[in-house]
Structure 1
Amino acid sequence: MKILIYGAGVVGCAYGWQLSKAGCDVTVLVRKGQKEFVQKNGIQIICSDFRGKARKDVDVIFKPTVIDELSSNNDFEYIIVSTNKLQLSTILPTLSKSTGKANVVFFQNNWDVFTEIDKYLNPEQYFFAFPFMVGGGKEDKNIHCAISGLKYSNTPLGEKDGRITPRVEKLFVALDKADLKPVISNQILVWLITHYAVAAGLSAGIMSAGSASQFIKTHLL
């Protein structure tokens, strides 16, 4: 399976690394000017993996195939879009011209762009997922991430209309081999909107309280 990770951030690199370990042919799309550096040095990923019985800390150099431009005659089966949701307005015109026959998987915290996506792509060209298994940040050029071992952490994915299609099932198998706990949802849009509402409310509460610890003391204890 050939997969393009569109966006070399924490989520894209962590999922791409794990899918590569599971046997997928992974390519990462990077910004202009970064291709030679990443090809030469790879992507350093410093990861705390909590999926096993004990935490496992790993420091690896992930060396995927690297491109800085997407061509419409590409041979990718899936394009996983893992950029910030706010970047979609600049990404969608490119995807409309260059997706080719690939299935686009929007791998973001989406809640209000569903109509906007339909202006550029047909429903047959895309579906949704959410990277609930990975979190972290960047320091210099290094990826610092954690892979969740919590019971209810998973990677939900599904079609906009709720159908369980072969393309969703095939990506499910790849994610399952990578131990990223995929779950097929027949209400993925409801899941995404609800997740955003809960996260936004929680974030607002923490900001209002001044800190996470103060929020816990004030509202949860």
Structure 2
Amino acid sequence: MRILMFGRGVIATIYGQALQEAGHDVEFYVRRGRAAAYGYEVQLDLVDTRSRRLGGRVRQVVPTRLRESVEPGDGFELVVLSVGHHQLPAAAEFLAPRIGDATVLVFGNIWDEPIAAVAPLPSAQVVFGFPQAGGGFGEDGVLHGGLLGRVIVGTSGEAPSLRESAVQEAFRTAGLAVRTQRDMRGWLWLHFVADAGMHAEGLRRGGLAAMIGDRQAFREALLTSRELLPVLQARGIDLRRHRRSTIGYHLSAPAAAGMAWASVHVPIARASLAAHTDPEAAEPRAVLRDTVHEARRLGVPAPRLEASLQLHP
């Protein structure tokens, strides 16, 4: 499959490398002038759970093919769009006249109505999914992070559409299991409020890396996310369909203990958190701002998150 990764960020790089190794024809779109600055290879230090040994460490230099333009005739079959939720409208507007008949996998956080978030992309060409990877580029230029052995892909009906099936198969060829999600809208919004809790606590402590091993920090994050569940209900989400995703909020003390333990002893969890050390990163503040705005709009009290936003406007 001919695949375009939009950007050369953490998620695009990790999954682009996995798809490339599986034999797919992968290129990365970057803004004009960025190709020379980035260079045509990336050094990875990755905890990759696709390995037979859990927590297998991969250190390698990966060649990347960068391009600074995209046109409808370029022949891409799949475009993977993974940017911060606040960057989606601009990215979708840029891609819409350039993708031809390619499927666009929107691969990351969304807080607006999913289809509206990526307008004007043709809805019939859009598939929603979520990565199970994370990390960050260190000062040494190395991408430090982790990759779980599965991804999440939304389905729009009883059975996957042809485009959804093609996306799933691309990931399977790269050694990744696919978990399908019928209520992708609800799942995405649940993940967003989980991120809001984590980022609120991470900002308070100077980055998610500072939360490693700290049981109280994880409990505070869970409690902040729990107060946002009524926001999801006000938006029409049936939380009974997502019991497994919400149980940790109601059992915050034991759940926090488990998360703190995993952040120390599970290599992929530790690697993912350890890469987030930038207290000035834009995405955490955007998540807090947009979540608080929606809670206010719906008249749902969110005092813990309001306090975080006041500290980190």
TM over 0.5: yes
* Residue 54 of structure 1, CA deviation: 4.0
Contact 1:3 1:25 in 2 (8 A): yes
Larger helix share, 1 or 2: 2
**Larger strand share, 1 or 2:** 1
1:190 correspondence with 2:186: yes
After superposition, the CA RMSD in angstroms is 2.5
Query: C-alpha displacement at 1:161, in angstroms?
Result: 6.1
Cα distance between partner residues in 1 of 2:167 and 2:143: 24
**Following TM superposition, by how much is the alpha carbon of 1:168 offset from its aligned partner in structure 2, in angstroms?**
1.0
Please give the residue correspondences for 1:53-202 in structure 2 after superposition, counting only pairs within 5 Å.
Answer: 53-117=53-117, 119-132=119-132, 134-140=133-139, 141-148=141-148, 154-159=150-155, 164-202=160-198
- Residue 199 of structure 1 aligns to which amino acid in structure 2? D
| Structure 1 gap segments, 5+ residues each | none
Q: Distance in 1 between matches of 2:194 and 2:54?
A: 29
CA distance in 2, matches of 1:126, 1:13: 21
Q: Name the stretch that deviates more: 210-219 or 162-171.
A: 210-219
Q: 1:166 to 1:144 in 2, by over 3 A?
A: same
Say whether 1:19 aligns with 2:19.
yes
Q: Take 2:198 and 2:219, find their aligned partners in 1: how far apart are those partners? A: 14
In structure 2, what residue type is equivalent to 1:3? I
Is 1:28 aligned to 2:32, yes or no? no
Deviations 1:161-212 (A, max 9, x none): 6751011112211211212221222221111111112232344356568863
Q: Secondary structure at the match of 2:11?
A: helix
Say whether the 8 Å CA contact 1:35–1:66 is kept in structure 2.
yes
Q: In structure 2, what is the Cα distance between the partners aligned to 1:123 and 1:97?
A: 14
Q: Which residue of 1 aligns with 2:282?
A: none
Please report how far the alpha carbon of residue 37 of structure 1 lies from its aligned counterpart in structure 2 after TM superposition.
Answer: 5.1
- Contact 2:113-2:185 within 8 A present in 1 as well: no
Report deviation, 1:28: 0.8
Are 2:217 and 1:215 equivalent residues in the alignment?
A: yes
Larger radius of gyration: 2
Letter in 1 for 2:174: A
Match in the other structure for 1:204? 200
In structure 2, relative to structure 1, the CA distance for the partners of 1:100 and 1:187 (3 Å cut) is same
What count of residue pairs does the alignment treat as equivalent?
215
Give the superposition deviation at 1:217. Answer: 7.3
Paired residues of 1:163 and 1:186 also in contact (CA < 8 A): no
Identity of aligned residues (%): 26
CA shift digits 1:50-75 (9 cap, x unpaired): 33324322222222322111112220
Q: Give the Å deviation of 1:96.
A: 1.6
State the TM-score, normalized to the length of structure 1. 0.85
Native 8 Å contact 1:155 1:180 kept in 2:
yes
Q: Distance in 2 between matches of 1:162 and 1:94?
A: 32
Alpha-carbon distance change, 216 to 85 in structure 1, aligned in 2, over 3 angstroms: closer
**Structure 1 position 17, deviation (Å):** 0.3
Q: Is the 8 A contact 1:3 1:79 kept in 2?
A: yes
Residue 20 (structure 1) shift: 0.9
In structure 2, the CA distance between the partners of 1:35 and 1:217, relative to structure 1 (3 Å rule), is closer
1:45 aligns with 2:41: no
SS in 2 for 1:110: coil
| Secondary structure of residue in 2 paired with 1:190 | helix
1:15-57 deviation digits (Å, cap 9, x = unpaired): 010011111111111222122455x641222212233324322
